[in-house]
Amino acid sequence: MKIQAAVVHKTGQPFQIEEVELAGPKAGELLVKIVACGVCHTDEVAQHQMIPVPLPAVFGHEGCGIVEEVGEGVTDFKAGDRVSFSFGYCGKCENCMTAHQHACEHFNEINFGGVMADGTKRLSQNGVEVSSFFGQSSFATYSVVHQNSAIKVTDDDIDLALLGPLGCGIQTGAGAVLNRLKPKFGSSIAVFGCGTVGMSAIMAAKIAGCAKIIGVGGNAQSLELAKELGATHTINRKEVDDVVAEIKKLTNGGTHYSIDTTGVGDFVRKALASVRFMGTAVVLGATGELTINVQEELMGDAKSLIGITEGDAIPKLFIPQLIDYYKRGQFPFDRLIKFYDFKDINQAVEDSHSGKVIKAVLKM
């Protein structure tokens, strides 16, 4: 079928909404009419080939929509179901079989290799195959996605367009706290970066009962929102000369946990330096090469530095939990979102990159 999709042909090229051909769903797959899709930093990273997804490609990986058709063997979904998407995984490797789909042994090839889980492509243009992204390519009017990656939305009273971002950025921040760190009640945490991932971590830390939640960022407006969402303290890195010293002052020696969501090497080191003896620092941003003095910065104080992908989440379980927190008023992620028309995708990306908006969501 012919659809409209945002295609990237060359490294760093703006998104171009063009007509492409989408093949129908194969066994285990769904054809979904996209309602909305979040704009994530990972899309921009792939657009500029810092993650080398084969071009041309259609990005977008925080989609949601209405099922129109199901492939052979699909029993849990039917036409008319409301669904949101998350990352792709094989479902067959040791990690998937032990409920660690976020660490699927084939994660990179399925999500960044330009192919679906079976190694084939569904998109083409003028006879040339077009790469998919995260097994969904939801910067488009329609998408084919494997049933593994689809989460049925049973709450008819929630605007479906809100739910796409739960599948990656929001899940990543909240899951790092609730699924992996599982902070003790009354503990302390510092979050570097007050974008979608950071704000989600802050809201999750409040749910977990952290006594001190410190948001670190450079946007005064975002820092004010961080306070409203659960931060007990905020630090504007543009106004404070020594962020680490300020965190240690606020926490009598350092936090129990810290999270870097920026992917900036210097902030990763600051996050590690901010935790106390036996503290844990988490890297959530796509970070390049980083040099640390292991004795002085890590081992000497018995600290831990860990990387977490996709919030250590099982999306089919965790996303419904987040929706439940939202309905209870404990996880107001809708306050992060600004909607854009699909045709304004490049403006949405620019506003996200500049910090003008925290979470841009495209409506198809």
Contact 41, 178 (CB under 8 A): no
- pLDDT given for residue 285 in this prediction: 86
Name which of 342, 290, 354, 328 is nearest 58 in CA terms. Answer: 342
Are 99 and 218 within one domain?
no
**Predicted pLDDT at 328:** 96
Claim to verify: residue 109 and residue 87 sit in the same structural domain = yes
Does a structural domain hold residue 317? Answer: no
In a domain, 236, yes or no: yes
Q: Say if residue 40 is in the same domain as residue 158.
A: yes
Counting the structural domains of the chain, the total is: 2
Whether residue 84 is contained in a domain is answered as yes
pLDDT at 288: 85
Looking at 264, 293, 308, which one is the last position of a domain? 308
Phi-psi region of 135 (alpha: psi -120 to 50; beta: other; left: phi over 0): left
Same domain, 124 and 181: no
Smallest CA-to-CA distance from 228 within 213, 243, 208, 217 is with 213
Whichever domain contains 290, its CATH number is 3.40.50.720
Length of the chain counted residue by residue: 364
Residue type, 306: I
CA distance linking residue 60 with residue 20, whole number of Å: 15
Supply the pLDDT for residue 69.
97
Domain that holds residue 70: 2-167+332-363
Q: 10 and 117 share a domain?
A: yes
Does 325 map to a domain?
no
If asked whether residues 125 and 63 sit together in one domain, one would say yes
Shared domain for 96 and 210, answered yes or no, is: no
Give residue 286's pLDDT: 82
Q: State the pLDDT at residue 95.
A: 96
Tens-of-pLDDT digits for all 364 residues of the chain? 999 999 999 999 999 999 999 999 999 999 999 999 999 989 999 999 989 999 999 999 999 999 999 999 999 999 999 999 999 999 999 999 999 999 999 999 999 999 998 899 999 999 999 999 999 999 999 999 999 999 999 988 899 999 999 999 999 999 999 999 999 999 999 999 999 999 999 999 999 999 999 999 999 999 999 999 999 999 999 999 999 999 999 999 999 999 999 999 999 999 999 999 999 999 998 888 999 999 999 999 999 999 999 999 999 999 999 999 999 999 999 999 999 999 999 999 999 988 899 999 999 9
318 located within any domain: no
For residue 254, tell me if it sits in a domain: yes
pLDDT of residue 35: 98
Per-residue pLDDT, 255? 98
Note the pLDDT of residue 190. 98
Kindly state whether residue 320 falls inside one of the protein's structural domains.
no
Residues 8 and 156 in one domain: yes
Minimal CA–CA distance to 110: which of 148, 164, 65, 160? 148
For the record, the structure tokens of 137 come out as 């390519």
Residue 326 lies in a domain: no
- 24 shares a domain with 104: yes
- The CATH number that applies at residue 359 is 3.90.180.10
348 and 241 in a common domain = no
Are residues 136 and 177 part of one domain? no
Are residue 11 and residue 150 in the same domain, yes or no? yes
- Residue 55 CB partners (closer than 8 Å, separation 6+): 8, 9, 10, 11, 49, 131
